[in-house]
Structure 1
Amino acid sequence: MILAFTLAGIVLIGVLGFVGRRRPAADLAEWTVGGRKFGALTMWFLQAGEVFTTFTFLGMAGLAFSGGVAAMYALPYVPIAYVVLFFLAKRIWRMGKERGYLTQGDFLEDRYSSRALGTVSAILGVVFVLPYLQLQITGLGLIVRLVTGDRASGTLSMIAGSVLVVAFVLWAGLRGVAATSYFKDAIMLVVLVVLIIAVPAHFAGGVSGVFHKIDQLHPEKLFVHAGANDHTWFITSMLVSAIGVGLMTLPHTWPALMSARDPKVLRRNYTWMPVYELCLLLPMIIGFAAILVVPKGSDPNGVLLTLSKDALPGWVTGLVVVAATATAMVPAAGILIGISSLVARNIARVRSERTQFWINHGTVVLASALALVLGIFRPDLLANLLLLTYSGSVQLAPANLLGFLKKVPVGKAPVFAGLLAGEVVVIWLTFVDTKLVGTVNVGLVGLAVNVVVLAIAAAIERAVTRSGDVVRTGEPV
């Protein structure tokens, strides 16, 4: 029954994606940003829904199960980022409208007059976000496998989901993602409300009972303590995430923002979306309930589904699986649009718009196929790169921030120098000397080095420019 529910849900999401557009998009701008015509309601589900992925639906419960209140680092960073975007979004949208930006690479290339910077930023974006795409596809298979106990069913769901996502993305572009976002958020909220009532009531007599029992049996889970998820990790991870989201360093967030009808739509949504993000608390509470009943050492990512099976009838568990499936498929579609538009606009560099459009569509197919094949046969191959998704992409924050200013105060060389230094530090601390900075988020360390190098290089650039001006005018040095 559960597998049937899951496959029906996957097909329904695919159909909704096709309904998002009656005819295929005629050009890349229409496909990528929906003609910049989305109103407040569509933008709400499109942007707010970016936060709710398989990580937030299953991962937040798992993080609460394994780390206790340390999981709550995810609560403050999104509202903080939205406060920043409340002030920045108008500027970003207007520049995008006037200059025709579709991607982060377009923005950086134009602001720093450097095609090389646009290309490098696009390559980094693809490298850092591709593992995030694989995470959604692998998560889809994990969901079905955990509930059915059948690995073959999980693989079948991954294949079916990937094929349908590619199909509706190619047909409808961002409009397809918007159409499926309505369904995803609606069913997810319904399921989370059912879970937050049924699961704590079944195992502890209610939400208050969960925390009373944890206070008695596992009090260490109710405060941030020494270890991998200590205070330092909590604060620095929150800062890196807030900076990354607030300064638009993840490439797949750009098409959604650019698709708004006008900046008023964006500011209105950023006013209220922090309230909506409080829904992240709901899967965390399920994770706390799991502390009481799931054996220590169990797979954290599966605790929400495990408790669902124990507390709910089979058909309701099927709805939970459909909701979890939606949190994998819809974000995967948005990520594919971000990756393909970067390749078509900033990496391939072809003159013909028609060729650019076909490169874009080819990239959708290739990126999805690569993520699917690796998710089935080598799920570990991109797993390490996933560690770089946030810490690596946040190194673009200084370039983005300076580019948002009315007049860019530095040239491309200092930005390149800082970016290179930051990425080298992040890679070194992630894969080579993993204990050098303790529990400090390596993205923040890399960002500090990035800013220092950028500042020094900018000072040198100004000094060289000033000396050159003096020599040219014939004035004494």
Structure 2
Amino acid sequence: MTVSLIIIVGICAIGALGIASRRRQRSMSNWTVGKRDLPKWTSWFLQAGESLTTFSFLGLAGIAFGGGVSAIFAVGYLTMSWTFLYFVAPRIRELGQRRGYLTMADFFEDRFSARWLAKVVAIVGALALIPYLQLQITGLGLIVELATGSPSARGLSMVIASVLVAVFVAWSGIRGIARVAYLKDILLVVAMVVIVAGVAISFGGIPPIFAQIAESTPSLLTLHAEGYDTTFFVTAMLVTVIGSGFMTLPHLWPPNLAAKSGEVLRSNAKWLPIYQLVLFIPILVGMAGVLELPGDTAGNEVLLTTAGALLPEWLLGVVAVAGAAAAMVPAAAIVMGISTLVSTNVFGGVRPERRMAFNYVVILAAVGLALAFGLVRSDISALLLLTYGGTTQFAPGVCVALAKRVRVGAWPIGLGIIAGTLTVAVITFAEIPIGSWDSGLIALAPNLAIVVIGEAIRRARGGTDVTQVDIDDRAVATVR
């Protein structure tokens, strides 16, 4: 009862913090990116939010439980991606401020002078984010169920959290998400420290954990565990570095565009790799779980099951609240990413005075759909692969468009995105055996082939570069 009460109060407090604004945001621009003046620490916590989600809270421990040290691929890709983002993020922010971007699709439309391409990017991006949103909501429910031992608490917490996320995102926009991000990261770091302290005390330190694993299951200390071999490690890391480094997940764009300056983003890129070291904690807990839990324990249950055996009830409740926050903040950012793509780019013809109202409808639809999937326990794990593999197909277009002069046309880029996304879908839904390879990386091959061949054909027919010309402080895309 104590745990349930702490969790419900905690979830409601998180939602209340998000809504704590005297005035509702009434314009899409202010709602999405504010005044593009978010200071260093606010920007830090918004960007750090993607590092500590329900995946890092539950998923990484599960991968470590089944695949051992292969789980460190997450630390590797998140750290390496900041090397790319040091250059990519400020450039996107500079273009966004100068040309008024609110979404990734705006970037594609402007840089390639093609509104149809923006619609393709928006549709693919919004659909790919739905399962990622469902993952956050389902993960929150699982955290509550494991902490309380009550399946009914799972559904109730999912409904409450979904309603609160929809309300505070609709009311406060990017600033509401930023406020909750501060609390979320503080709670989650504290929770991680508490958990690792409990594990260390239980085993008499950290080294004994690895010494016992070396004796009982040495394969977990190498890249040879079934399903988590060297191929998995290399391809999963490579595709996620490409995706993260070129900001192919649409919900990451508003925080980037809202930053005060490029220098703020460069500072974040220098220091956030150190922050990723926190991810070693759930990996360690997963490894410790190998020594304590039955072999058939579900991967997502490892961290909280281990914590429940080590911590007093009230402290387990605090850890669960931290896990709930780790779900609600990314969920809010994802909801914003979906709604802005749909209301701004897919249905761009909506009149400005009605756009916010239409945006609210999209928010409710997205949250409702993800909640429905979660409540009925629908198996959309295949769709989850589309989130990563599908959005990675934007990487060639983003890379080309970052240059001062865009030398590739919209049609090759658009057809490449479609071909790559369809390849991921076919591999996923047809269950084509690809071993430990990442489908997103495989799909980049036809994507890039079509871009190269398509551009060669376009050039042969007289196509030229797309250039950006500034006239009276207004940037206008023209085709030369």
What TM-score bracket applies, with the shorter chain setting the length? Answer: over 0.9
Residues 5-31 of structure 1, C-alpha deviation per residue, up to 9 Å, x if partnerless? 110110110111012x32111211110
C-alpha distance in 2, partners of 1:285/1:121? 38
1:63/1:300 contact within 8 Å kept:
yes
C-alpha distance in 2, partners of 1:209/1:16? 42
| Residues 395-410 of structure 1: pairs in structure 2 closer than 5 A | 395-410=393-408
Match of 1:444 among 441, 446, 451: 441
Match of 1:238?
A: 237
Letter of the 2:448 partner, please give it. V
Cα distance, 1:434 vs. partner? 1.9
Identity of aligned residues (%): 44
Match of 2:381?
A: 383
Letter of the 1:97 partner, please give it. Q
3-state SS of paired residue (1:387): helix
Residues 14-59 of structure 1, C-alpha deviation per residue, up to 9 Å, x if partnerless? 111012x321112111101122110000001110112211011111
Match of 1:2?
A: 3
Match of 1:369?
A: 368
Letter of the 1:10 partner, please give it. I
2:140/2:157 contact within 8 Å kept:
yes
Residues 277-313 of structure 1, C-alpha deviation per residue, up to 9 Å, x if partnerless? 1111111101111000100011110111111111111
C-alpha distance in 2, partners of 1:125/1:152? 33
Cα distance, 1:112 vs. partner? 0.9
C-alpha distance in 2, partners of 1:463/1:332? 46
Cα distance, 1:413 vs. partner? 1.2
Matched, 1:13 2:14: yes
Cα distance, 1:227 vs. partner? 3.2
Gaps of 5+ in 2: 465-480
| Residues 164-175 of structure 1: pairs in structure 2 closer than 5 A | 164-175=164-175
Letter of the 2:158 partner, please give it. M
2:343/2:350 contact within 8 Å kept:
no
C-alpha distance in 1, partners of 2:153/2:422? 41
1:236/1:441 contact within 8 Å kept:
yes
1:350/1:356 contact within 8 Å kept:
no
> Please, what is the CA RMSD of the aligned residues?
1.3
Following TM superposition, the consecutive aligned residue runs of length 4 or more in structure 1 with deviations greater than 4 angstroms are none
C-alpha distance in 1, partners of 2:134/2:67? 24
1:78/1:245 contact within 8 Å kept:
yes
| Residues 57-456 of structure 1: pairs in structure 2 closer than 5 A | 57-202=57-202, 204-225=203-224, 227-380=226-379, 382-432=380-430, 434-435=432-433, 437-456=434-453
C-alpha distance in 2, partners of 1:100/1:440? 39
Letter of the 1:129 partner, please give it. L
Normalising by structure 2, what TM-score?
Answer: 0.94
Residues 340-385 of structure 1, C-alpha deviation per residue, up to 9 Å, x if partnerless? 00011001122521211111111111111111122112421x3321
C-alpha distance in 2, partners of 1:398/1:150? 46
C-alpha distance in 1, partners of 2:63/2:211? 20
C-alpha distance in 1, partners of 2:225/2:311? 36
Cα distance, 1:152 vs. partner? 0.8
1:125/1:339 contact within 8 Å kept:
yes
Cα distance, 1:149 vs. partner? 2.0
C-alpha distance in 1, partners of 2:436/2:25? 47
3-state SS of paired residue (2:461): helix
Match of 2:47?
A: 47
405-414 or 346-355: bigger deviation: 346-355
Residues 410-447 of structure 1, C-alpha deviation per residue, up to 9 Å, x if partnerless? 11111122122212222222222521x32221111111
3-state SS of paired residue (1:408): coil
Matched, 1:30 2:27: no
C-alpha distance in 2, partners of 1:445/1:466? 29
Gaps of 5+ in 1: 468-477
Letter of the 2:256 partner, please give it. L
3-state SS of paired residue (1:36): coil
1:200/1:286 contact within 8 Å kept:
no
Match of 2:462 among 435, 455, 465: 465
Cα distance, 1:226 vs. partner? 5.8
**Cα distance change on mapping 1:384 and 1:256 into 2, 3 Å:** same
C-alpha distance in 2, partners of 1:45/1:416? 33
C-alpha distance in 2, partners of 1:218/1:200? 20
Residues 295-343 of structure 1, C-alpha deviation per residue, up to 9 Å, x if partnerless? 0011110111111111111111111101111101111011100000001
2:57/2:326 contact within 8 Å kept:
yes
Cα distance, 1:88 vs. partner? 1.5
Matched residues, number: 463
Letter of the 1:107 partner, please give it. F
Normalising by structure 1, what TM-score?
Answer: 0.95
C-alpha distance in 2, partners of 1:7/1:283? 24
3-state SS of paired residue (2:224): coil
Letter of the 2:235 partner, please give it. T
Letter of the 1:142 partner, please give it. L
Cα distance, 1:200 vs. partner? 3.0
**Cα distance change on mapping 1:466 and 1:423 into 2, 3 Å:** closer
Match of 2:471?
A: none
